[in-house]
């Protein structure tokens, strides 16, 4: 919403504030100013001048030398190349040392304007410059009388004289304020609404235009009848008729106000409808009565599949949820959105039908979107207008018609309004309002604000009556906000909640996440952030089979595009994409981790919320291998109380991983996650020409298994006994198998075991490898006998023997 300050001042005449004061105070009372523009910010020393004499330039064919009366004792000499000027023309002149907003003949932006200095043009002194409308920062759109190329010439009836302030004379001495109006304040999408807010904000009288009775002694009902067949979509329809139209330009003041709103003047009729739409926020439509068959307006739903040609010449497809304005035979307009080509007003119009109606905002919004036609009128209706506004607006328009002599208004209004909206009545509860706000505002002061806002108070019933244009006021809290707005949010005191103390805490799983972050960052992994939605193509990229459960996804019905269309079920793509980005940007090493959910549907199509499982996804390339990453996972497990408790089970189940280099991380039957090298084909799919290692930890499982329940066990007092085992075995045997046996047979006396050598090559037969462990045995309460230890080692060797593992000779 944009308002020129001058227009606001027209209805709040006592308002005397600077632009800055205005925007600051309006923002603090709830009309958030996003921006404001002083139209004359780069216009300085520009006066009205009258050309007294034009002579040829002695040395330049394209220049002339003018003597210009600027209201001073002597005329000044100005050299110009403009071709449109003649003697006696009244023009804007920028004097020596002044400023204009733009240059003639280029489209460059000049944020600080252009300084004008006196000088010589081809040897002849020039003491200023005559200005075109573009140089004054505007355009022919708003000043249609300006020439296409050349100096602006004031019309004869402009009422200006040499020496006058030309900026003021052109109405450029204004500020246009742009507000962010919140959706609840429908009334503020109008000049009247904003003026009312300004009047309360600055505590000045509010003087809206006085709407006078209009019309001749004829009866509009003799001209037209209105039938609303869809009252749910059209709560009110008002129609008036104007005859003997005199189409012509609208007065300068109206053109200027429309210009300030960015609306180009067309003619008095169009301008009046636009003007009233801006002034009251009520869109209106004008029909040529002669095109309306049967002099009858019918408001009804369209039929599915109907085609309709709108004012802009486009044929559009209608449906049953679109409301149409029809005459006795045919559709003539899409209600609230755009009129039809078939009832378009032309310059030949004799008799006019004005429509001011209230249409259902939601319906207009949805219809406008469905047919892909967004108009200013639709934007206004979408907000849900007050039906009582329609009658005010149509009468205002007729008043302007009469005032401007644009036609003869026929008496009476056709007003179809079966269920009039009545003002709401709310109890006046000053104590509750103060209690909510934490303030101590006097009830009288509250009533003063209400009165200025147009809310009336009845002392006997202690009730507040809310005018219908304030649809947003429905309860005590709403009224409290009105009090707060004008009492000043700044003036509300500052305190802290009292009452029962509460314990501040973070959930246990967040704490585990924090431990994981610390471990990962200590190992060179940086925290990343990835999207929750991705493309279904990801599954092919990750070589996931067609029948995999991963492909059962939650789909977004209105995604931004295929790339963001499904909720991820596997967390890897985000990190891999990020690694690819790093690789592509020639970062030699990348180590990333990410916490984020995967979304697993319980049934498809979705009938309940999917399961959201937090995954810790880790990925790296450039330095380190499988065991680097495994070490990090082991450290993480140790930090959450799972030291040496997790098993790494070799597997081939993860299609996106190297089949010989992947493992599930398990504890008992529970799967904590997986780790592995990315499948080379996957690497190709992500364009990473380096070995990539990844791990995914299922955080709910890790959180469930985590334990910080530690009891001190004492420090060993008795000596331990160490045995080294050097063994030869088939290459295919995993050390995990050996360790499982050592652990199982070692029993309570086994304190620790450590792999210290794996060797293949010379002295070891082909297909075999040598593996060496050192084991420490210890008892808490005594020194171990050699025989005891020997017995355990024998047992271990016996079990290992079953796998074909032998002691190395």
Partner 1 sequence: MKEKLEAIKSEALAKIENADVLASLNDVKVAILGKKGELTQVLKGMKDVAPEDRPKVGQMVNEARTAIEAALEAKTKAINQAVRTEKMKRETIDVTLPGTKKLIGHRHPNQIALEDLERVFIGMGYEIVDGPEVEYDKYNFELLNIPANHPAKDEQDTFYINKEILLRTQTSPVQARVMEKGKLPIRILSPGRVFRADEVDATHSPSFHQVEGLVIDKGITMADLKGTLQQWAKEFFGENTKVKFRPHHFPFTEPSAECDITCFKCGGKGCRVCKGSGWIEILGCGMVHPKVLRDCGIDPEVYSGFAFGIGLERVTLLKYEIDDMRLLYENDMRFLSQF
Binding residues among 561-620 for partner 1 as defined by CB under 8 A: 564, 567, 575, 578, 581-582, 585, 587, 589-594, 596-597, 599, 605-606, 609-610, 612
Instruction: Quote the CA–CA distance of 586 and 42 in Å, as a whole number.
Output: 49
Instruction: Quote the CA–CA distance of 29 and 687 in Å, as a whole number.
Output: 56
Instruction: Quote the CA–CA distance of 275 and 255 in Å, as a whole number.
Output: 9
- In this structure, the number of other CB atoms found within 10 A of the CB of residue 97 comes to 12
Instruction: Quote the CA–CA distance of 649 and 663 in Å, as a whole number.
Output: 5
Q: Which of residues 427-456 bind partner 1 (CB under 8 A)?
A: 435-439
Choices 27-35, 397-405, 773-781, 786-794 (CB under 8 A): range interacting with partner 1:
27-35
Four-CA torsion 577, 583, 584, 585, nearest 10 degrees: 110
We find the least distance from the C-beta atom of residue 667 to partner 1, in angstroms, to be 25
Choices 90-98, 341-349, 497-505, 648-656 (CB under 8 A): range interacting with partner 1:
497-505
**If we measure between CA atoms, which residue out of 180, 178, 159 comes closest to residue 170?**
159
- x/- track of binding to partner 1 for residues 752-771 (CB under 8 A): --------------------
We find the least distance from the C-beta atom of residue 657 to partner 1, in angstroms, to be 21
**Total residues at the site for partner 1 (CB under 8 A)?**
90
Instruction: Quote the CA–CA distance of 711 and 716 in Å, as a whole number.
Output: 15
Among 2, 343, 523, 685, binds partner 1 (CB under 8 A): 523
By CB under 8 A, is residue 492 in contact with partner 1? yes
β-bridge mates for residue 301, sequence order: 323
Instruction: Quote the CA–CA distance of 265 and 285 in Å, as a whole number.
Output: 16
How far CA 112 is from CA of 102, 169, 187, 246, in Å, comes to 9, 22, 36, 44
Our CB check for partner 1 shows the closer of 257 and 485 to be: 485
We find the least distance from the C-beta atom of residue 610 to partner 1, in angstroms, to be 5
Three-state secondary structure string covering 691-751: CEEEEEEEHHHHHHHCCCCCCCCCCCCCCCEEEEEEEEEECCCCHHHHHHHHHHHHHHHEE
**φ, ψ for residue 400, nearest 5 deg:** -65, -35
**φ, ψ for residue 296, nearest 5 deg:** -135, 135
We find the least distance from the C-beta atom of residue 463 to partner 1, in angstroms, to be 18
Q: Which two tokens stand for residue 418?
A: 């079966």
Among 280, 417, 525, 648, binds partner 1 (CB under 8 A): 525
Among 111, 156, 560, 711, binds partner 1 (CB under 8 A): 560
We find the least distance from the C-beta atom of residue 510 to partner 1, in angstroms, to be 6
We find the least distance from the C-beta atom of residue 554 to partner 1, in angstroms, to be 6
The answer to whether the beta carbons of residues 177 and 6 sit under 8 Å apart is: no
Among 73, 107, 495, 732, binds partner 1 (CB under 8 A): 495
Our CB check for partner 1 shows the closer of 443 and 624 to be: 624
Among 346, 506, 687, 763, binds partner 1 (CB under 8 A): 506
By CB under 8 A, is residue 498 in contact with partner 1? yes
By CB under 8 A, is residue 314 in contact with partner 1? no
Our CB check for partner 1 shows the closer of 183 and 707 to be: 183
We find the least distance from the C-beta atom of residue 379 to partner 1, in angstroms, to be 11
The answer to whether the beta carbons of residues 199 and 5 sit under 8 Å apart is: no
Helix (H) / strand (E) element for 50: namely strand 44-56
Q: Looking up tokens 């303030």, which residue turns up?
A: 439
Our CB check for partner 1 shows the closer of 194 and 286 to be: 194
Our CB check for partner 1 shows the closer of 7 and 593 to be: 593
By CB under 8 A, is residue 183 in contact with partner 1? yes
**If we measure between CA atoms, which residue out of 597, 629, 465 comes closest to residue 531?**
597
The answer to whether the beta carbons of residues 89 and 26 sit under 8 Å apart is: no
Longest dimension (CA), the chain: 130
By CB under 8 A, is residue 372 in contact with partner 1? no
**φ, ψ for residue 753, nearest 5 deg:** -140, 150
Q: Name, in order, each residue with C-beta under 8 angstroms of 253's C-beta and a sequence gap of 6 or more.
A: none
The answer to whether the beta carbons of residues 62 and 102 sit under 8 Å apart is: no
Instruction: Quote the CA–CA distance of 462 and 673 in Å, as a whole number.
Output: 67
**If we measure between CA atoms, which residue out of 76, 253, 249, 48 comes closest to residue 151?**
48
Our CB check for partner 1 shows the closer of 489 and 734 to be: 489
We find the least distance from the C-beta atom of residue 85 to partner 1, in angstroms, to be 41
How far CA 352 is from CA of 288, 341, 347, 405, 467, in Å, comes to 5, 16, 11, 14, 31
Among 305, 346, 347, 503, binds partner 1 (CB under 8 A): 503
Omega into 605 within 30° of 0, i.e. cis? Answer: yes
We find the least distance from the C-beta atom of residue 346 to partner 1, in angstroms, to be 36
By CB under 8 A, is residue 336 in contact with partner 1? no
DSSP classification of residue 408: E
Q: Which of residues 529-558 bind partner 1 (CB under 8 A)?
A: 529-533, 554-558
Instruction: Quote the CA–CA distance of 54 and 91 in Å, as a whole number.
Output: 14
We find the least distance from the C-beta atom of residue 557 to partner 1, in angstroms, to be 5
Among 317, 477, 740, 755, binds partner 1 (CB under 8 A): 477
Among 50, 185, 396, 568, binds partner 1 (CB under 8 A): 185
Reduced to 3 states (helix: H, G, I; strand: E, B; else coil), residue 570 is coil
We find the least distance from the C-beta atom of residue 498 to partner 1, in angstroms, to be 7
Our CB check for partner 1 shows the closer of 250 and 617 to be: 617
Among 305, 499, 714, 767, binds partner 1 (CB under 8 A): 499
Choices 111-119, 176-184, 237-245, 419-427 (CB under 8 A): range interacting with partner 1:
176-184
We find the least distance from the C-beta atom of residue 620 to partner 1, in angstroms, to be 9
Our CB check for partner 1 shows the closer of 114 and 426 to be: 426
Our CB check for partner 1 shows the closer of 472 and 649 to be: 472
Our CB check for partner 1 shows the closer of 560 and 809 to be: 560
Our CB check for partner 1 shows the closer of 149 and 612 to be: 612
We find the least distance from the C-beta atom of residue 625 to partner 1, in angstroms, to be 14
Q: Which of residues 337-366 bind partner 1 (CB under 8 A)?
A: 362, 365
Among 240, 485, 679, 769, binds partner 1 (CB under 8 A): 485
Our CB check for partner 1 shows the closer of 127 and 513 to be: 513
Our CB check for partner 1 shows the closer of 238 and 520 to be: 520
We find the least distance from the C-beta atom of residue 433 to partner 1, in angstroms, to be 10
Reduced to 3 states (helix: H, G, I; strand: E, B; else coil), residue 360 is coil
């Amino acid at each position: 919403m944009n308002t020129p300050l001058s227009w606001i001042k027209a209805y709040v005449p006592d308002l005397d504030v600077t632009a800055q004061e205005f925007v600051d105070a309006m923002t603090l009372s709830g009309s958030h100013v996003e921006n404001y523009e002083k139209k004359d910010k780069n216009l300085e020393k520009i006066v009205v001048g009258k050309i007294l004499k034009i002579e040829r330039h002695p040395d330049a064919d394209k220049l002339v030398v003018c003597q210009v009366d600027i209201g001073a004792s002597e005329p000044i000499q100005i050299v110009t190349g403009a071709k449109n000027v003649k003697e006696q023309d009244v023009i804007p002149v920028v004097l020596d040392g002044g400023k204009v907003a733009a240059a003639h003949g280029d489209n460059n932006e000049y944020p600080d304007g252009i300084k004008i200095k006196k000088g010589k043009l081809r040897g002849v002194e020039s003491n200023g410059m005559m200005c075109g409308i573009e140089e004054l920062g505007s355009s022919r759109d708003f000043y249609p009388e300006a020439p296409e190329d050349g100096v602006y010439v004031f019309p004869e009836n402009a009422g200006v004289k040499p020496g006058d302030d030309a900026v003021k004379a052109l109405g450029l001495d204004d500020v246009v304020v742009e507000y962010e109006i919140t959706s609840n304040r429908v009334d503020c999408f109008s000049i009247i609404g904003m003026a009312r807010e300004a009047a309360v904000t600055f505590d000045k009288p509010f003087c809206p235009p006085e709407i006078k009775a209009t019309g001749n002694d004829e009866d509009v009902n003799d001209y037209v009848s209105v039938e609303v067949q869809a009252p749910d979509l059209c709560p009110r329809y008002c129609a008036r008729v104007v005859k003997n139209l005199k189409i012509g330009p609208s007065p300068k003041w109206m053109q200027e106000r429309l210009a300030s709103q960015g609306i180009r003047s067309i003619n008095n009729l169009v301008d009046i409808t636009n003007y009233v739409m801006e002034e009251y926020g009520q869109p209106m439509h004008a029909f040529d009565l002669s095109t309306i068959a049967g002099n009858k307006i019918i408001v009804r739903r369209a039929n599915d599949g109907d085609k309709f040609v709108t004012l802009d010449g486009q044929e559009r497809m209608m449906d049953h949820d679109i409301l149409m304005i029809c005459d006795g035979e045919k559709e003539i307009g899409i209600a609230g959105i755009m009129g039809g080509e078939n009832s378009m007003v032309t310059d030949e119009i004799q008799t006019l039908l004005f429509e001011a109606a209230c249409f259902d905002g939601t319906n207009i919004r949805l219809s406008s979107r469905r047919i892909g036609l967004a108009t200013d009128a639709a934007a206004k209706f979408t907000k849900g207008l007050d039906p009582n506004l329609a009658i005010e607006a149509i009468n205002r328009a007729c008043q302007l018609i009469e005032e401007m002599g644009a036609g003869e208004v026929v008496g009476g209004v056709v007003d179809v309004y079966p269920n009039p909206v009545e003002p709401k009545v709310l109890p006046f509860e000053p104590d509750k309002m103060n209690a909510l706000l934490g303030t101590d505002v006097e009830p009288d002061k509250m009533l003063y604000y209400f009165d200025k806002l147009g809310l009336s108070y009845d002392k006997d019933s202690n009730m507040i009556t809310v005018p219908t244009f304030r649809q947003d006021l429905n309860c005590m809290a709403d009224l409290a906000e009105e009090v707060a707005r004008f009492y000043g949010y700044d003036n509300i005191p500052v305190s802290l909640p009292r009452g029962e103390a509460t314990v501040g805490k973070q959930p246990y799983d967040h704490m585990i996440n924090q431990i994981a972050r610390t471990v990962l960052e200590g190992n060179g992994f940086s925290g990343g952030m990835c999207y929750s939605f991705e493309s279904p193509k990801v599954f092919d990229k990750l070589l996931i089979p067609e029948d995999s459960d991963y492909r059962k996804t939650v789909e977004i019905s209105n995604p931004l595009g295929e790339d963001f269309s499904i909720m991820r079920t596997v967390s890897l793509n985000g990190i891999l994409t990020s690694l690819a980005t790093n690789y592509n940007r020639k970062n030699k090493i990348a180590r990333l981790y990410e916490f984020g959910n995967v979304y697993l549907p319980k049934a498809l199509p979705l009938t309940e919320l999917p399961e959201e499982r937090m995954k810790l996804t880790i990925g790296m390339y450039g330095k380190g291998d499988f065991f680097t990453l495994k070490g990090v996972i082991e450290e993480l497990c140790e930090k959450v109380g799972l030291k040496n408790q997790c098993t790494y089970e070799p597997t081939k189940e993860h299609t996106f991983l190297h089949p010989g280099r992947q493992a599930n991380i398990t504890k008992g039957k529970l799967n904590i996650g997986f780790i592995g090298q990315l499948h080379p084909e996957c690497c190709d799919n992500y364009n990473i020409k380096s070995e990539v290692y990844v791990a995914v930890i299922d955080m709910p499982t890790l959180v469930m298994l985590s334990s910080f329940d530690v009891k001190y066990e004492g420090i060993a007092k008795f000596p331990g006994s160490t045995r080294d085992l050097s063994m030869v075995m088939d290459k295919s045997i995993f050390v995990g198998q050996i360790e499982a046996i050592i652990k199982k047979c070692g029993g309570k006396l086994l304190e620790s075991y450590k792999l210290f050598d794996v060797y293949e090559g010379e002295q070891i037969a082909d297909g075999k490898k040598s593996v060496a462990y050192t084991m420490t045995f210890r008892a808490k309460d005594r020194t171990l006998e050699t025989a005891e230890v020997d017995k355990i080692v024998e047992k271990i060797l016996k079990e290992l023997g079953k796998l074909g593992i032998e002691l190395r000779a």
